[in-house]
Amino acid sequence: MIVDISKWKHVFKLDPDREISDEALDRLCQSGTDAIMVGGSTGVTFDNTVDLLARVRQYEVPVVLEISNQEAIVPGFDLFLIPVVLNANDPQWIVGQHHEALKEYGAILNWDEIVTEGYIILNSEATAARLTSSRTDLDAKDVTAYARMADKLFHMPIVYLEYSGVFGDMELVRRTRSVLEHARLIYGGGIDTLDKAQQAAEVADTIVVGNIIYNDLEQALQTVNIDRTGR
Ligand code: 1GP
């Protein structure tokens, strides 16, 4: 399937390490979301990723893998998203793991299926922030500099503002979006109502809804109803 990320407005992110019933998965996949993103910070294995892929594949919705560790690279997704954590203090999460993976798979990759995400992690409490030793005390100038770095210096197609677990600063999201020329701005973190989804959708190109899926499925499903007439 050809997947056009430039059309994505709303994405559900599913964690292979968390349980989800068939009924819940059915409702998410048929909700009208633009894609299902599979990924998580910890406990993601080949087996739990294959399982989730097989279950989501029963539906028409595009399914993409956000790769967080080399052991969990599973073929068969529509796209593979590769996070590069721009504000990580640990270089493992900027180029280290990528280097290891390319030593193994570099010659056999289908580059048309691979999309780099310039991640900026902004919630110091998030597992991803701890894992990557991210420097999260950033002001708007810091964040927009990282965004330009991703967009202009490295030509990354995606800048991902990651607040995982908390709802972020929408003014900062808006400012970050405004400096991007080519890259798409993905926002994720703390979207647990339609109202927050709408606020985020007004300032970002794509919003990602994660945790609330597991805490309150009905609220999660509501977030699909954002106004799609904007950018
Ligand atoms: C996580 O950005 C996503 O990677 C979504 O965040 O889980 O807080 O919705 P939440």
Query: Which atom number of ligand 1 is nearest to the Cα of residue 192?
Result: 9
Q: Alpha-carbon distance 11 to 160, whole Å?
A: 13
Residue 209 in contact with ligand 1 by CB distance below 6 A: yes
Q: Alpha-carbon distance 42 to 32, whole Å?
A: 28
**Beta strand pairing status for 35-38 and 63-66?**
parallel
* Residue 97 contacts residue 72 (beta carbons within 8 Å): no
Q: Alpha-carbon distance 66 to 142, whole Å?
A: 25
Of how many residues is the chain composed?
Answer: 231
Q: Alpha-carbon distance 143 to 161, whole Å?
A: 9
What are 218's two structure tokens?
């009905």
CA of 10 to the centre of ligand 1 (A): 12
> Into how many domains does the chain fold?
1
C-alpha distance across the termini of the chain, in Å: 24
List the residue whose alpha carbon is closest to atom 3 of ligand 1: 188
| Inside any domain, residue 101 | yes
List the residue whose alpha carbon is closest to atom 2 of ligand 1: 188
Pocket test for ligand 1, best of 33, 163, 205 (most atoms within 8 A of CB): 163
| Inside any domain, residue 230 | no
pLDDT for position 230: 59
| Inside any domain, residue 63 | yes
| Inside any domain, residue 214 | yes
Quote the domain boundaries for residue 149.
Answer: 5-225
Give Dmax over CA atoms of the chain in angstroms. Answer: 45
Write the pLDDT tens digit of every residue in 129-140.
999 999 999 999
| Inside any domain, residue 53 | yes
Helix (H, G, I), strand (E, B) or coil at 199: helix
Query: Which atom number of ligand 1 is nearest to the Cα of residue 40?
Result: 4
Per-10-residue mean pLDDT, the chain, length 231? 89 97 98 97 95 98 94 94 97 94 91 96 96 96 98 98 97 98 98 98 98 98 90 51
**Binding-site entries for Mg(2+):** 15, 41
Query: Which atom number of ligand 1 is nearest to the Cα of residue 209?
Result: 9
Q: Alpha-carbon distance 38 to 54, whole Å?
A: 12
The CATH number that applies at residue 52 is 3.20.20.390
Q: Which of 84, 110, 105 is nearest to 96 (CA)?
A: 84
Helix (H, G, I), strand (E, B) or coil at 113: helix
| Inside any domain, residue 146 | yes
Q: Which of 210, 204, 85 is nearest to 156 (CA)?
A: 85
| Inside any domain, residue 231 | no
- What string of DSSP letters covers 86-110? TTBSSGGGTTHHHHHHHHHHTTT--
Predicted TM-score (pTM) above 0.95? yes
Q: Outline where DSSP puts E strands in 27-93.
A: 35-38, 63-66, 79-85
Q: Could you identify the residue written with the tokens 């633009």? A: 34
CA of 164 to the centre of ligand 1 (A): 4
pLDDT for position 137: 96
Residue 168 in contact with ligand 1 by CB distance below 6 A: no
* Residue 119 contacts residue 98 (beta carbons within 8 Å): no
